[in-house]
């Protein structure tokens, strides 16, 4: 499996171009402010000169503006660097099993079982994992009585009659809980989007953001043997 990343040189060029634009904007603002201040001094009424305190105030405002622009420049550069570091770190996890918090799963048609997990706040006498296809048909995996705490389950597409496609997933309990669900999937690739966001492609899930990761389960022996 390979890591799909944006070209590093391209990303660097983009970051450099953004910094250049911000720097040019700051310079232009400073030059314009200075020219206006000089013109104001040259054209003031000699009989009623402007209060020097006003010039000092204007110079202070210029200094504050330049400081804010420099801070924006630094923040933008830092965000770009953090995104690159995140992609590199996640790239090293390609081929690993992740737990992804999601409300949707994908069935690939291979018949492979899909592992999931949830946490119940209270006991439930009637616990059901419900998968709803795009056609609106419900497929139910009944888990019966469950105690509070971690709930592990396994979805067998063949037994539930799930064909290849996308399904909404939810858990219904006797206490009317709606716990969040984590699905296990293998990280296939990592991409840095033009917006700066990081996109992951995970089996059983599809494309998702890095903020949906709830756990790293590592690479199992079978996975390592096929890489």
Tell me what pLDDT residue 97 has.
Answer: 95
175 with 76: CB under 8 angstroms? no
Tell me what pLDDT residue 72 has.
Answer: 74
Spatial CA neighbour of 4 closest among 99, 92, 91, 80: 91
Q: Where are the domains of the chain?
A: 8-91, 97-226
Widest distance between CA atoms in the chain: 95
The fold of the 97-226 domain, in CATH, is Immunoglobulin-like (2.60.40)
Question: Token digits for 156?
Answer: 């067998």
Task: Collect all residues with Cβ–Cβ distance below 8 Å to 170 and sequence separation of at least 6.
Answer: 103, 129, 130, 132, 178, 181
Tell me what pLDDT residue 193 has.
Answer: 83
184 with 114: CB under 8 angstroms? yes
Tell me the backbone φ, ψ of residue 76, rounded to 5 degrees: -65, -45
pLDDT along the chain (227 residues), means of 10: 39 45 55 69 64 66 72 67 70 90 94 95 96 95 96 96 95 95 95 84 94 88 42
Rounded to whole angstroms, the Cα distance separating 1 from 95 reads 7
């Amino acid at each position: 499996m390979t890591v799909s990343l944006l070209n590093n040189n391209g990303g660097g060029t983009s970051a450099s171009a953004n910094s250049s634009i911000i720097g040019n904007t700051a310079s232009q603002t400073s030059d314009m402010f200075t020219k206006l201040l000089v013109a104001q001094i040259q054209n003031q009424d000699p009989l009623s000169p402007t209060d020097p305190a006003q010039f000092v105030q204007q110079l202070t405002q210029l200094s504050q503006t330049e400081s804010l622009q420099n801070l924006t420049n630094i923040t933008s550069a830092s965000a770009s660097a953090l995104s690159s570091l995140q992609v590199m770190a996640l790239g090293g996890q390609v081929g690993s099993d992740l737990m992804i918090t999601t409300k949707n799963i994908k069935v690939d048609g291979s018949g492979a079982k899909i592992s999931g997990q949830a946490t119940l706040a209270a006991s439930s006498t009637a616990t059901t994992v419900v998968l709803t296809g795009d056609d609106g048909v419900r497929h139910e995996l009944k888990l019966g009585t469950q105690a509070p705490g971690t709930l592990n389950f396994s979805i067998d597409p063949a037994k539930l009659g799930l064909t290849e496609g996308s399904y909404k997933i939810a858990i219904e309990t006797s206490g009317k809980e709606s716990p969040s669900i984590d699905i296990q999937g293998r990280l296939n690739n990592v991409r840095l989007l033009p917006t700066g966001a990081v996109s992951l492609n995970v089996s059983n899930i599809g494309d998702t953001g890095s903020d949906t990761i709830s756990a790293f389960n590592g690479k199992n022996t079978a996975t390592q043997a096929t890489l």
